[in-house]
Amino acid sequence: MIREVEKDQFELTTGIGGIKMTTQSVKDDLVADSEFMMEVVSSVKNK
């Protein structure tokens, strides 16, 4: 999910299986940030 929080500032949320990660980013970094966030979220192990 992407939503604009300020001019040229976006909140990016990714999630898999109940694990979520959120950050704020500028438009030019959204793709790279989302790819990194998906790697991190997919690496989390549920107990």
Q: Give the Cα separation of 11 and 8 in Å (integer).
A: 10
Q: Which of 1, 43, 4, 37 is nearest to 21 (CA)?
A: 37
Supply the pLDDT for residue 45: 83
pLDDT digits (tens, 9 = 90+) for 26-47: 999 999 999 999 999 999 987 6
Q: Terminus-to-terminus CA distance in the chain, angstroms?
A: 26
pLDDT of residue 18: 87
Range of the domain at 10: 2-43
Domain tally for the chain?
A: 1
Q: For 4-28, what is each residue's pLDDT tens digit?
A: 999 999 999 999 988 999 999 999 9
> What's the burial of 23, exposed, middle or buried (CB within 10 Å: 0-12/13-18/19+)?
middle
Which pLDDT score, from 0 to 100, does residue 33 have? 96
